[in-house]
């Protein structure tokens, strides 16, 4: 397996195909497998992505958006978050995320609990579709 550095997306195929999540990795194929493993175990760090996975039984697609240098990861990820407006990204400002030192960029995020990182998240209309009518939008 070649080590690919870059930006990736997780999408939902089917009736309403859409982009759910944009991320960055220094080893994209391994990161995809990590997402899949945590989703299957119902232990994904992103509760919105996990709930969609649970409700629709997967149907997720993984795609490379752009290969880049490690030094460009934050800039490129921010570009794709701003452009594609993925529905499930919790942190919407990559620079602010690292500035708050919530995670060290050198750290591999295997068992890190990042549920408390909903600093930029606000409910969206589609949440009622996934979570039910009790969600305030």
Of residues 3, 6, 38, the one with CA closest to residue 110: 38
Distances (CA, A) of 81 to 35, 42, 43, 49, 77: 18, 25, 24, 15, 6
Domain boundaries, the chain: 6-131
Residue 18 is encoded by which pair of tokens?
């859409």
Per residue in 56-67, pLDDT (tens digit) is 877 889 999 999
4 contacts: CB under 8 Å, gap ≥ 6: 27, 28, 29, 64, 67
Q: Inform me whether the pLDDT recorded for 20 exceeds 90.
A: no
Q: Inform me whether the pLDDT recorded for 111 exceeds 80.
A: no
3-state helix, strand, coil split of the chain in percent (to 5) is: 40, 15, 45
Q: Inform me whether the pLDDT recorded for 119 exceeds 80.
A: no
CA distance 45 to 72: 24
Looking at residue 95, what is its pLDDT? 75
Per residue in 28-43, pLDDT (tens digit) is 988 999 999 999 999 9
CB 37 within 8 Å of CB 57: no
Instruction: Give mean pLDDT, residues 76-82.
Output: 94
**Topology classification of domain 6-131:** GIY-YIG endonuclease (3.40.1440)
pTM (predicted TM-score) = 0.70
Bridge partners of 66?
A: 7
């Amino acid at each position: 397996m070649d080590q690919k550095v870059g930006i990736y997306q997780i999408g939902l195929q089917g009736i309403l195909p859409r982009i759910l999540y944009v991320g960055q990795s220094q080893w994209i194929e391994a990161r995809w497998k990590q997402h899949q493993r945590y989703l299957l175990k119902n232990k994904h760090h992103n509760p919105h992505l996990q709930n969609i996975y649970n409700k629709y039984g997967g149907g997720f697609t993984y795609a490379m958006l752009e290969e880049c240098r490690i030094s460009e990861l934050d800039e490129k990820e921010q570009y794709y978050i701003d452009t594609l407006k993925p529905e499930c990204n919790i942190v919407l400002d990559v620079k602010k995320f690292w500035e708050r030192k919530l995670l060290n960029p050198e750290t591999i995020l295997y068992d890190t609990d990042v549920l408390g990182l909903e600093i930029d998240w606000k409910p969206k209309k589609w949440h009622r579709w996934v979570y039910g009518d009790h969600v305030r939008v």
